[in-house]
A and B are shown apart, each in its own frame.
Chain A
Amino acid sequence: MDIVISGLLLGGAYALVAMGLNLQYGVARIMNLANGEVLVLGGLAAFWAFVSFGLSPLLTLFLIAPLAFAGSWAIYALFLRPLVKRAKSRGQLEVDTILATFGMSFFFVGLMVSLQAEYFTYSFLAWPISLLGSTVAANRLVAALVAAAIAAALYLWLNRSRSGLAVRAVAVSPGSARLVGIDVGKVSALAFSLGGMVTALGGCLISTFVTLDASAGVLFTMKALIIVIMGGVGDIRGAIIAALILGLVETAVATIVDPGLTLVAAYAIFLAVLLFRPQGLFGRRSA
């Protein structure tokens, strides 16, 4: 039971991060390998605000959101749009964005090492709470609840609003979206920036219960990618379920076998997905 509860709580935070990546890859067609670094930047901001000003990470969220959105927009406009324009094919764009975002991820790591080379250690809501007969840290519960709230808001926006409809249209087919009068360039930029924002918020929440450091990003990138592929690219509902599965399996492996094997467990899942359901949990096999 302990495993199920903490697994689900961890999965909740993963889900948020995977939603961010899903917006970037599924809609804007940018395979953002600097995703984990954006997450860690969010964590660094939370740490810094807490240590310097005693600001609660829950308030820092409101500062991070506009900053991460604007920053992601700038990155998209300055660095990624030229690649989108230059690319002759989707394959070419993928190679270019992969290399460019690798560059950015290393750049961010270098930047963060020079800002804060130590672990981002701080203690927020670190008292135990009893939940369904098992004990969890309050910060984990709060983080999972806030993540769920943000994810729900995003889900509603995508499925109920007009602009959300445009985003989903671009995700399905950028070519056809253009035909019905959707400004694909603008929607892509919006999706990319929203994705960056959600990822940074996820990082802020995760930093309350996981001690991050400047080079922790790549692991989160890996996990977010595995979740997105498992859930099916562009499929928000699939991503949430995939995130919960990954959270559960990781927690189970860490408690029962060895904490050093969580990445191995993630890889085992990844391999199973690639072999049996490369189109995602709910995706249909394309002809």
Chain B
Amino acid sequence: MSERLKLALGVLIALAAAFVPLIADGYWLSIAVTIMMYTALSTSWALFSGPTHYIALSTGAFYGIGGYLVATGMSDFEASFWTMAAIAPLVAIILAGAIGAATLRLSGVYFVIFTLGLAEMIRNLVSWVQNNFLGARGLYVLTDFDERHIYWMLLAVTVAVFLFGWLLGRSRTGFALRILGNDEEVARHVGIDTARTKILLFMSTGFFAALVGAIVAPRYYYIEPNVVFSPELSFLVVIMALLGGTRHLWGPLLGVVPFTMLWEAVSAAAPNATTMVLGAAFLMIVYLIPDGITGLAAKLIRTRSPS
């Protein structure tokens, strides 16, 4: 497929997706919102973690920053939703830049470990500040939005993520990133500033995650740090992206749709089994489909028609 055809197809799909709230409501609309949210998160995650192989577990932290800043801004400082939704991603970008500068120069393990406890650490810090300095009261996010508005806003973010990924693929930075992912040593020798490239990409993940967190905040109405800083979210995003495959821009989408359905079904039918399902999903990805659904499909096509 030519690039232009792909772009046209993408526009068509996005337009079709915009009509979903007109035909779906209630349960299905809420599923659609969740799918849209995870599509934005996983795709943006894969743009960084796919080529670099750095498993970022920070999505929950940035998402929480988005949600929490909207909540505290509206409840404690009487700011508008829009102001806070604009501030939150900027805060996340700065934080991601700082974390990246501290960890992305070192081997991947340090980064994984640092991001593993990040959401929990920020939650502890935020709870402490909230209890000691801002007064321990509930944070409310009261807006006129309903699920449809949230869906459309998330769709806009998702389109932005895809556009960003598409432009990145055609840019010098994207090219540098692919070389870096294949062999960091080589990348350094041809004069690529590897740390800077990785940090920039990580900042983009932080930006989008916080933006999504801010947009989804009105869905909760009442926000507690425990709810928005959920480590589980980080793992779900990783699973969905890897399940779909990170080689193509649209790969994570193929993981998001089935896994969201499965997750919703399991959460409703057997809430105690969710942890087990997370574990099984990780093991399945590592042992059975290490390249995701897209990788598996490509392999099947290759064996069918040996050329």
0 or 1 for each of B261-290: is its CB under 8 Å from A? (1 = yes):
000000000001111101111111111001
Size class of the A contact interface (CB-based, 8 Å)? 35 or more
Does B93 sit within 8 A of A, measured CB to CB?
no
Question: Which of chain B's residues have a CB closer than 8 A to the CB of A222?
Answer: 113, 116-117
0 or 1 for each of B89-116: is its CB under 8 Å from A? (1 = yes):
0000000000000110011111011101
Q: Which residue of B lies closest to A100 (CB)?
A: B286
0 or 1 for each of A211-227: is its CB under 8 Å from B? (1 = yes):
00000001101100110
Question: Which of chain A's residues have a CB closer than 8 A to the CB of B221?
Answer: none
Does A170 sit within 8 A of B, measured CB to CB?
no
Q: Contact: B102 with A110, CB < 8 Å?
A: no
A122 to B278 alpha-carbon distance, docked (Å):
30
Does B120 sit within 8 A of A, measured CB to CB?
yes
Within 8 A of B (CB), among A86-133: 91-92, 94-96, 98-100, 102-111, 113-114
- CB-CB under 8 A for A110 and B279, given A99-B55, A267-B117: yes
Q: Which residue of A lies closest to B117 (CB)?
A: A222
- CB-CB under 8 A for A107 and B55, given A113-B272, A264-B124, A275-B102: no
Q: Contact: B128 with A258, CB < 8 Å?
A: yes
Does A274 sit within 8 A of B, measured CB to CB?
yes
Does A271 sit within 8 A of B, measured CB to CB?
yes
Does A17 sit within 8 A of B, measured CB to CB?
no
- CB-CB under 8 A for A111 and B276, given A91-B53, A98-B112: yes
- CB-CB under 8 A for A99 and B242, given A106-B282, A110-B275: yes
Does B125 sit within 8 A of A, measured CB to CB?
yes
Question: Which of chain A's residues have a CB closer than 8 A to the CB of B290?
Answer: 96
Does B235 sit within 8 A of A, measured CB to CB?
yes
Does A209 sit within 8 A of B, measured CB to CB?
no
Give A259 Cβ to nearest chain B Cβ, in Å. Answer: 10
Q: Contact: B283 with A103, CB < 8 Å?
A: yes
Q: Which residue of A lies closest to B111 (CB)?
A: A274
Does A261 sit within 8 A of B, measured CB to CB?
yes
Within 8 A of A (CB), among B128-163: 128, 132
Question: Which of chain B's residues have a CB closer than 8 A to the CB of A225?
Answer: 113, 116
* Total B residues in contact with A, Cβ cutoff 8 Å: 40
Q: Contact: B110 with A274, CB < 8 Å?
A: yes
A9 to B291 alpha-carbon distance, docked (Å):
46
Q: Contact: A274 with B114, CB < 8 Å?
A: yes
Does A76 sit within 8 A of B, measured CB to CB?
no
Does B227 sit within 8 A of A, measured CB to CB?
no
Question: Which of chain A's residues have a CB closer than 8 A to the CB of B18?
Answer: none
Within 8 A of B (CB), among A261-287: 261, 263-264, 266-267, 270-271, 274-275, 278
Q: Contact: B286 with A99, CB < 8 Å?
A: yes
Partner of B282, one of A31, A103, A111, A114: A103
Does B127 sit within 8 A of A, measured CB to CB?
yes
Does A83 sit within 8 A of B, measured CB to CB?
yes
Partner of B279, one of A105, A219, A270: A105
Question: Which of chain A's residues have a CB closer than 8 A to the CB of B281?
Answer: 103
Q: List 16 A-B contacts (CB under 8 A).
A: A98-B112, A99-B242, A99-B285, A100-B286, A103-B281, A103-B283, A104-B283, A109-B279, A111-B276, A218-B117, A218-B231, A225-B116, A263-B120, A263-B121, A274-B114, A278-B106
Give A residues with C-beta under 8 Å from B: 31, 33, 79, 82-83, 91-92, 94-96, 98-100, 102-111, 113-114, 218-219, 221-222, 225-226, 229, 258, 260-261, 263-264, 266-267, 270-271, 274-275, 278
Given contacts A92-B53, A103-B284, list 7 more A-B pairs with CB under 8 A: A79-B287, A83-B286, A100-B287, A104-B283, A111-B276, A113-B275, A225-B113
Give B residues with C-beta under 8 Å from A: 53, 55, 102-103, 106-110, 112-114, 116-117, 120-121, 124-125, 127-128, 132, 231, 235, 242, 272-276, 278-287, 290
